[in-house]
Protein backbone atom coordinates (compact mmCIF):
# COMPACT_ATOMS: atom_id res chain seq x y z
CA UNK A 1 0.00 0.00 0.00
CA UNK A 2 1.20 3.50 -0.86
CA UNK A 3 -0.27 6.67 0.60
CA UNK A 4 0.08 9.88 -1.40
CA UNK A 5 -0.56 13.39 -0.11
CA UNK A 6 -0.46 16.40 -2.41
CA UNK A 7 0.15 19.96 -1.34
CA UNK A 8 0.96 23.34 -2.83
CA UNK A 9 -2.20 24.13 -4.74
CA UNK A 10 -3.87 27.51 -4.62
CA UNK A 11 -5.03 30.56 -6.53
CA UNK A 12 -2.61 32.28 -8.89
CA UNK A 13 -2.88 34.84 -11.66
CA UNK A 14 -2.24 33.91 -15.27
CA UNK A 15 1.47 33.91 -15.98
CA UNK A 16 2.30 32.99 -12.41
CA UNK A 17 3.89 29.88 -10.93
CA UNK A 18 3.08 27.19 -8.42
CA UNK A 19 4.98 24.20 -7.11
CA UNK A 20 3.06 21.10 -6.14
CA UNK A 21 4.48 18.42 -3.89
CA UNK A 22 3.41 14.84 -3.39
CA UNK A 23 4.68 13.02 -0.34
CA UNK A 24 4.58 9.22 -0.42
CA UNK A 25 4.58 6.77 2.44
CA UNK A 26 4.22 3.04 2.70
CA UNK A 27 6.03 0.83 0.26
CA UNK A 28 9.38 1.65 -1.25
CA UNK A 29 8.97 4.88 -3.19
CA UNK A 30 11.79 4.15 -5.58
CA UNK A 31 9.88 1.19 -7.03
CA UNK A 32 7.22 3.41 -8.53
CA UNK A 33 6.77 5.55 -11.59
CA UNK A 34 5.15 8.75 -10.41
CA UNK A 35 2.62 10.73 -12.40
CA UNK A 36 0.57 13.89 -12.21
CA UNK A 37 -2.92 14.06 -13.63
CA UNK A 38 -5.56 16.78 -13.51
CA UNK A 39 -9.31 16.98 -13.73
CA UNK A 40 -11.34 20.07 -14.51
CA UNK A 41 -15.06 20.29 -13.72
CA UNK A 42 -17.11 18.30 -16.19
CA UNK A 43 -14.04 16.80 -17.85
CA UNK A 44 -12.23 13.49 -17.67
CA UNK A 45 -9.03 13.09 -15.74
CA UNK A 46 -6.12 13.84 -18.04
CA UNK A 47 -2.42 13.10 -18.00
CA UNK A 48 -0.01 15.91 -17.21
CA UNK A 49 3.41 14.38 -16.69
CA UNK A 50 5.27 11.34 -15.33
CA UNK A 51 8.74 10.43 -14.15
CA UNK A 52 10.56 7.11 -13.98
CA UNK A 53 11.87 5.64 -10.74
CA UNK A 54 15.35 7.02 -11.34
CA UNK A 55 14.19 10.39 -12.61
CA UNK A 56 16.00 9.72 -15.85
CA UNK A 57 12.90 9.49 -18.01
CA UNK A 58 10.07 11.97 -18.11
CA UNK A 59 6.95 12.35 -20.20
CA UNK A 60 4.81 15.45 -20.67
CA UNK A 61 1.45 16.24 -22.19
CA UNK A 62 1.78 18.58 -25.14
CA UNK A 63 -0.30 21.24 -23.39
CA UNK A 64 2.23 21.63 -20.58
CA UNK A 65 5.55 20.85 -22.26
CA UNK A 66 7.99 23.68 -21.76
CA UNK A 67 5.97 25.17 -18.89
CA UNK A 68 5.81 22.36 -16.33
CA UNK A 69 8.67 20.34 -14.86
CA UNK A 70 8.40 17.12 -12.89
CA UNK A 71 11.12 15.98 -10.52
CA UNK A 72 11.52 13.57 -7.65
CA UNK A 73 13.65 13.22 -4.54
CA UNK A 74 13.81 9.55 -3.65
CA UNK A 75 15.55 10.30 -0.37
CA UNK A 76 12.52 12.35 0.69
CA UNK A 77 9.89 10.12 -0.95
CA UNK A 78 8.55 13.17 -2.71
CA UNK A 79 7.68 14.12 -6.27
CA UNK A 80 7.31 17.71 -7.39
CA UNK A 81 5.52 19.55 -10.15
CA UNK A 82 6.87 23.01 -10.95
CA UNK A 83 4.28 24.91 -12.97
CA UNK A 84 5.30 28.11 -14.72
CA UNK A 85 3.50 30.44 -17.13
CA UNK A 86 0.18 29.20 -15.83
CA UNK A 87 -2.93 29.70 -17.93
CA UNK A 88 -6.62 29.75 -16.94
CA UNK A 89 -7.04 26.45 -18.78
CA UNK A 90 -4.64 24.87 -16.29
CA UNK A 91 -7.33 25.26 -13.61
CA UNK A 92 -8.15 21.82 -12.23
CA UNK A 93 -7.73 19.45 -9.33
CA UNK A 94 -4.25 17.98 -9.62
CA UNK A 95 -3.67 14.38 -8.57
CA UNK A 96 -0.47 12.54 -7.81
CA UNK A 97 -0.32 8.87 -8.77
CA UNK A 98 2.05 5.94 -8.29
CA UNK A 99 2.34 2.84 -10.42
CA UNK A 100 4.60 -0.11 -11.14
CA UNK A 101 4.83 0.43 -14.86
CA UNK A 102 6.89 -1.90 -16.99
CA UNK A 103 7.55 0.87 -19.48
CA UNK A 104 7.12 4.63 -19.67
CA UNK A 105 5.16 4.20 -22.90
CA UNK A 106 2.04 3.60 -20.82
CA UNK A 107 2.71 6.36 -18.31
CA UNK A 108 -0.01 8.60 -19.75
CA UNK A 109 -2.76 6.10 -19.02
CA UNK A 110 -4.89 6.48 -15.89
CA UNK A 111 -5.19 2.71 -15.56
CA UNK A 112 -1.41 2.35 -15.27
CA UNK A 113 -1.51 3.70 -11.73
CA UNK A 114 -2.73 1.84 -8.69
CA UNK A 115 -2.39 4.55 -6.08
CA UNK A 116 -3.78 8.07 -6.05
CA UNK A 117 -3.69 11.07 -3.77
CA UNK A 118 -6.72 13.07 -2.74
CA UNK A 119 -5.91 15.94 -5.08
CA UNK A 120 -5.09 19.61 -4.68
CA UNK A 121 -6.95 22.47 -6.33
CA UNK A 122 -5.13 24.80 -8.70
CA UNK A 123 -7.02 27.85 -9.87
CA UNK A 124 -5.56 30.26 -12.41
CA UNK A 125 -7.34 33.57 -12.80
CA UNK A 126 -7.24 35.61 -15.99
Q: For the segment 71-110, what is each residue's pLDDT rounded down to a tens digit?
A: 999 999 999 999 999 999 999 999 999 999 888 999 999 9
Q: Evaluate if residue 6 carries a pLDDT over 90.
A: yes
Give buried/exposed letters for 24-42 (b at 16+ CB in 10 A, else e).
beeeebeebbbbbbbeeee
> Can you give the pLDDT at residue 30?
84
> How buried is 67 (Cβ within 10 angstroms: 0-12 exposed, 13-18 middle, 19+ buried)?
middle
> Based on the number of CB atoms within 10 Å of its own CB, is 111 exposed (0-12), middle (13-18) or buried (19 or more)?
exposed
Check if the beta carbon of residue 58 is closer than 8 Å to that of residue 52: yes
Strands 33-39 and 58-60: unpaired
- Percent of the chain at pLDDT > 70 equals 100
Strands 10-13, 120-125: pairing kind: parallel
Secondary structure (DSSP) of 81-93: EEE-S--GGG-EE
Average pLDDT over residues 55-68: 96
Write the CB contacts of 105 (distance below 8 Å, at least 6 apart in sequence): none
Determine the 3-state secondary structure of 112 from DSSP.
helix
Q: Does the pLDDT value for residue 1 go beyond 90? A: no
Amino acid sequence: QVQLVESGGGLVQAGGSLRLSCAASGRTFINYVMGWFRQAPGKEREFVTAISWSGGNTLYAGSVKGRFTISRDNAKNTVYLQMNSLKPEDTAVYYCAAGTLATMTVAAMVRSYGYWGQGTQVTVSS
